Amino acid sequence: MKKTIEKITPRPAQPHMVGDGFRVYGFIPAAVDRRSMSPFLVLDFNPEYDFGPSEIPLGVGAHPHKGFETVTIAYKGRVQHADSSGGGGIIGEGDVQWMTAGSGILHKEFHEENFSKTGGSFEMVQLWVNLPAKDKNVAPHYQAITKDSMGLYEIPGSGGVVNVIAGNFNGVNGPAATYSPVHLSNIRLKAGAEVTTSLPAGYNTALLVIKGAVEVNGENAGEHSFVHFKNEGSDILIKAASDAVVLLLSGEPINEPIAAYGPFVMNTQAEIYEAMEAFQAGKFGTLD
């Protein structure tokens, strides 16, 4: 049985800036509330945008996170990041950084130095993925997932490929380790091609059309639109009207209370106060 589409949301009229280096449109929680897309808390999309050269890298300075994970997917451009645990690195085109903030961390991310000096096309997605209550205080860490390390599903008829980041796509597994069941894949379709997949009916599921135009279970979805499914049916058929890139995300709901304040996501307001106090007391470490 096909998954029923709840609604298709076009790209919002206006972007907003995150720091001075990320020009994003927010789909979660703007298009759908967090409960309807649990465990996904935030989806910010920076569609392709040409940033001019800058001697000082654009981005976001040191800021805290606690109680969830950030997943940064690079389509174009390069991002350099560092955190208070001593971690850091460069996210290249096609790569993913999966950071578990857990018990609390300071983090910063900027356009990579050489990319910043030359400027160019920049295209990114950042997701926030909730952590179950039992895992909210795990030690911070991150997974650097290169495009070459992802699972690769070849669409029949030379119709394109699927890069599997997490979970499973038609029997191909992704490398990301997750704290609750999550499926996350980049589907790259050639014009006229189609692909079918199945996901559990009870999982919260959506897709974002990064590039091109597609037909999803019989309904048209234009470039930069967000397709949210109802929790019924399991099959998804995607047909490409033009060369297309589609981000498919699906996860088992975390049926726990959500208390959120800025970069802190816990289960109760009391835990939010504790997180703020820990941050103010310097317990998240230091980061210049």
Cα distances (angstroms) measured from residue 164 to each of 95, 145, 150, 151, 279: 11, 11, 5, 5, 35
Asked, as a colleague might, if the bond just before 39 is cis with ω within 30 of 0, I would say yes
Q: What tokens does 214 get?
A: 């597609």
Query: Is residue 9 very low, low, confident or very high in pLDDT (cuts 50, 70, 90)?
Result: very high
Strand partners, 224: none
pLDDT in tens, 192-202: 999 999 999 99
Question: Residue 134 burial (CB < 10 Å; 0-12/13-18/19+)?
Answer: exposed
Buried-exposed string 51-84: b where 16+ CB fall within 10 A, e elsewhere: beebeebbbbebbbbbbbbbbbbbbbbbbbbbbb
pLDDT in tens, 142-174: 899 999 999 999 999 999 999 999 999 999 999
pLDDT in tens, 46-80: 999 999 999 999 999 999 999 999 999 999 999 99
What integer pLDDT is reported at residue 191 of this predicted model?
98
Q: How many helices (H) and strands (E) does the chain have?
A: 3, 26
What integer pLDDT is reported at residue 288 of this predicted model?
81
**Whose structure tokens read 């109680």?**
67
Cα distances (angstroms) measured from residue 58 to each of 66, 96, 110, 119: 24, 19, 5, 10
Residue 275 near residue 104, CB atoms below 8 Å: yes
> Does 88 score more than 90 pLDDT?
no
Q: What tokens does 25 get?
A: 């449109």
| Mean local confidence (pLDDT), 69-98 | 94
d(CA 41, CA 23): 19
